[in-house]
Amino acid sequence: MNTTLIIFGATGDLAGRFLLPALAELAAVDALPQGFSLVASGTRDMSEDDFRDHAEGKLNEHGADSPESARRWILDRTQYRPADVTDTADMAELLAETGRGQDAPVTVYLALPTGLMPDALRALAAADLPSGSRIAMEKPFGEDLSGANELDDLLGELFGDEAAAIVFNVDHALGMAPVQAMLALRFANPLPEAVWNSEHIEEFRVLWDEAIALEGRARFYDSTGALKDVLQNHLMQVLTMSAMERPEGIESGWPSAAELRARKAELLSAVRPLSAADVPTSTRRARYTAGTLADEPEAAGKTVPDYIEEDGVDGNRDTETFAEVVLHIDSPRWAGTRFRLRTAKALAHTRKGIEILFRPVGAAQQGARLWIGLDGPFDVELALNSSSSRDRLTPMSLIGEQPRPEFSPYGHVLKSALEGESDLAAGPEESQLAWQILTPVLEAWEAGSAPMEDYPAGSPGPESEPPTGAQP
């Protein structure tokens, strides 16, 4: 395990809300080496004490579940260095100041906007990272299909055949415990695998509904939108882990990262392309108007204005806060099943999970539903043929022993990055395929072929009927 972690973008929302609390969580269970050091870097010219005060505030706000001693352990091992991550000289100087020597490998976490990634990678490569170093990039991989292709070419140019072992496009959805357990749920138990196909499943839903609004991320979000921010990466990764064919190595515990990437790419390659004519019947987009958010943590019943009136939002952009896409997978297992992917902000409830609608059996008017929650503790519920009949299933009854310790998603991501494990990263081919699938949607939305609906903040969403998708 590398002992030095460098976070670029350390003063940003991602680092304060997720990365620092995840480090405290790992420290609390002695999952970090005793020689661990955190080098935090950003463009803000602030002293080390000022950054530690900033980090302490974020840890107290977002990492209060970890003991105070663990939070202090991280703060005591934290340095701050202002630097321009796109400047080779700054990168070389920062690496020299880590105090680990020329030969000590480091793990670099790029918590940066997508547009900065190419120049940051060029600067790091030119700065001559020590052997054994790794670079973790936040999603998405590129800003569109063309950008993803160019980024893949750049990685090959900079790092050659070693690119896959050095640069990880991490996705914290892959670190969610239920996603980690998905392969065990499907393949270690005969019952789920027997019904995990189109003969029994009518619709497979991957949902990422959030009660919060922008939470200070307007500049990033308004240039990205719901589809690029969540659906193109997180939901596509959950889809592949949920619907892929059996990977080799699952019988002995956990498949290799290369095998997982191959099975995920195979699944995405089988997604039926959407035509421009399909988009109006297979997608839906909307954005929130003024309203009161749900009385949930973080959303906290706040009153928010129309999205286009939020601070930092450019009202001339056609940015969606609600995106829904219906896909079909042309494979023997899944021909005839609808796959509905949906993400939104400022909805009535936070609800992240997989909902499986089974086909009716016999005289039943509707089929059973299986819900697998993704965010937080295991949440598994089976609803039988009527809404009044529910069987609560414990996680162990479905998945057996969990394949990993119970860390938060970003805890898994950081531990894997420090250890050099890439199974929580999306390979370039997966990202390119995901962009390829969704490019017709982005182009049709830009052309105005699907209306921009609206919904009041704190409501269930737009009132129009959900898309049905193209014919199976």
Catalytic residues: 234
Are the CB atoms for 136 and 413 separated by under 8 Å? yes
**Cα(330)–Cα(389) distance, rounded to whole angstroms?**
34
Quick one: which of 318, 150, 298 has its CA closest to 224? 318
Six token digits for residue 157: 């140019």
**Cα(346)–Cα(24) distance, rounded to whole angstroms?**
29
Six token digits for residue 447: 């052309």
Neighbours of 34 (CB within 10 A): 8
Quick one: which of 247, 249, 252 has its CA closest to 262? 247
Cβ partners under 8 Å of residue 385, min gap 6: 360, 361, 364, 365, 366, 367, 368
Are the CB atoms for 242 and 355 separated by under 8 Å? no
Beta bridge partners of 170: 138, 425
**Cα(187)–Cα(360) distance, rounded to whole angstroms?**
24
Six token digits for residue 454: 């609206």
Beta bridge partners of 304: 291
**Cα(434)–Cα(66) distance, rounded to whole angstroms?**
36
Are the CB atoms for 317 and 222 separated by under 8 Å? yes
| Secondary structure class of 455 (helix, strand, coil) | strand
Burial class (CB in 10 A: 0-12, 13-18, 19+), 102: exposed
| Locus of tokens 């939104």 | 344
